[in-house]
Structure 1
Amino acid sequence: MALTEVSSNKSFGGYQKVYSHESKELGCVMKFGVYLPPQTEAGQKLPVVYWLSGLTCTEANFIEKAGAQRYAAQYGVIIVNPDTSPRGLSIPGDSDAYDFGTGAGFYINATQDPWKTNYRMYNYVTVELPNVINNNFEVAERKQSIMGHSMGGHGALICALKKSWTV
């Protein structure tokens, strides 16, 4: 799967990057942040933490506000933070309320029209995105975890309990 680098900034000896890619699961272009600590430059395969943000956030929220890059650099952990929902689909009603639609994917798969075709955040976070990460970065595939805050905490619990996230 082709990735497009949107941005790259040096941070605590590593790089905070943002990529976009065409998501087959969601039917749109998705963005995600990935912090690559300095240990990746030596070719080390590192553990990954997937961070799911809360309601109305984008991938930028965690990057700009958490300050986790310092600790990820210190302990050699890759952090991946996806956007919270598909964007730019222009589904009628997707931007009518802050807690439904754009920015509010809830990390579940929608089951009703017109949402069920694109709002498949559970599959995106548990299957498609990990495949993208595993195929494009030096990760320890059997050392991956998931966490989040607010809506993302709910999503992390759902994903971990439903999928048995520990691989």
Structure 2
Amino acid sequence: MSVQLEKTSSNKVFEGELAKYRFKSTALGGLFANFNLFIPPNASETIKVPVLVYLSGLTCTEDNGAQKGSFLGPASAQGIAILFPDTSPRGAAIEGEDDNWDFGTGAGFYINATDPKYSKHYNMYTHVTLELPEIIEAAGLPIDWQRQSIFGHSMGGHGALTLYLSSTTKQYRSASAFAPICNPTKCPWGEKAFSGYLQGGIEEAKGKYDATDLISAYKEPDSLQPQGTGDNFYKQGQLLPENFLKASRDAGYDEFQVRVRSQEAYDHSYYFISTFAADHIHFHANFLKA
């Protein structure tokens, strides 16, 4: 893939490097896309390391998880790289895409849009699963793409679970999510997104972009999901982890294959995420380093 990858910043952290890159994205209709990539200190020209992909939530960019997630220290200790993509295309200039915080810019929902208004640019599914690995591999960065796992928060938790569960090639070895949108075809955020991005609306999303629908067809899942009981979005019915848990148990998966943990009084913020960040890194290390 002939893509000019530009490094725009670099910081040494936990003996590794956190670098920001940008490139012109074909998947996002020729717009510039940014991502952050943490490379642990054990990586070299001859040693490739496994990678965790972190997907952020509504209104976030590629910076939120990298700066506030508390992932980098544990990842450095485990010798795992972390890729932080953006949450949507930027600068598409589509009428209405900046009218609401929960749709459009910053709210790509990690799907490929089929409505003609959005289908040129809003292809975050392809951007994350295919395009970013291809351009990073072509740039010669020391990532072993045979050892990938994925995790995320809120909308990004939805993305992590659905990208994991919908992969016919088992691209990711494991998945985890902080307070994910578990059943988006039945919550206001998901209904709004799917009705806007998809020509077939909610019906098109079922069985394709909804983790609660997808879990019953997946073989031998490995996922971890903490959920704070003090999370206002949980209380408002946006997240619906109980629906995902029921579908998992109905499909015969036990608490070792699909772990949904209730965390007393924690909310939806990065204080919650950073508290359990090391748990997630260690969970994925069991699969990435096997």
The equivalent of 1:12 in structure 2 is 14
- Do structure 1's residue 122 and structure 2's residue 125 form an aligned pair? yes
The equivalent of 1:108 in structure 2 is 111
Q: Which amino acid aligns with 2:23?
A: H
SS at 2:21 equivalent: strand
- Do structure 1's residue 145 and structure 2's residue 183 form an aligned pair? no
Q: TM-score, normalised by structure 2?
A: 0.56
Alignment root-mean-square deviation, CA: 1.2
- Distance in 2 separating the partners of 1:132 and 1:72: 22
The equivalent of 1:24 in structure 2 is 26
Shift of 1:42: 6.1
- Distance in 2 separating the partners of 1:116 and 1:80: 24
Q: Which has the higher contact order (CA 8 A, sep 6+)?
A: 1
8 Å CA contact 2:9, 2:19 repeated in 1: yes
Match for residue 74 of structure 1 among 70, 77, 82: 77
- Do structure 1's residue 38 and structure 2's residue 44 form an aligned pair? no
SS at 1:115 equivalent: coil
- Distance in 2 separating the partners of 1:135 and 1:75: 25
- Distance in 2 separating the partners of 1:76 and 1:135: 21
- Do structure 1's residue 55 and structure 2's residue 58 form an aligned pair? yes
- Distance in 2 separating the partners of 1:128 and 1:41: 23
- Distance in 1 separating the partners of 2:32 and 2:103: 20
SS at 2:43 equivalent: helix
- Distance in 1 separating the partners of 2:45 and 2:142: 10
The equivalent of 1:165 in structure 2 is 171
Higher helix share: 2
8 Å CA contact 2:34, 2:62 repeated in 1: yes
Look at both structures and tell me which one has the larger radius of gyration over its CA atoms. Answer: 2
- Distance in 2 separating the partners of 1:6 and 1:62: 18
SS at 1:104 equivalent: coil
Between 131-140 and 96-105, report the one with greater CA deviation: 131-140
Shift of 1:110: 0.9
- Distance in 1 separating the partners of 2:145 and 2:111: 23
8 Å CA contact 2:133, 2:145 repeated in 1: no
* Percent sequence identity over aligned pairs: 46
- Distance in 1 separating the partners of 2:172 and 2:63: 26
Q: Which amino acid aligns with 1:134?
A: E
Q: Which amino acid aligns with 1:61?
A: N
Q: Which amino acid aligns with 1:165?
A: Q
Shift of 1:41: 3.6
Q: Deviations over 1:94-148 (max 9, x none)?
A: 1000011000000001110210111001111111111122222111221011111
After the TM superposition, which parts of structure 1 deviate over 4 Å for at least 4 consecutive aligned residues?
A: none
8 Å CA contact 1:146, 1:165 repeated in 2: no
Q: How many residues align?
A: 167
The equivalent of 2:274 in structure 1 is none
Shift of 1:38: 0.6
SS at 2:106 equivalent: coil
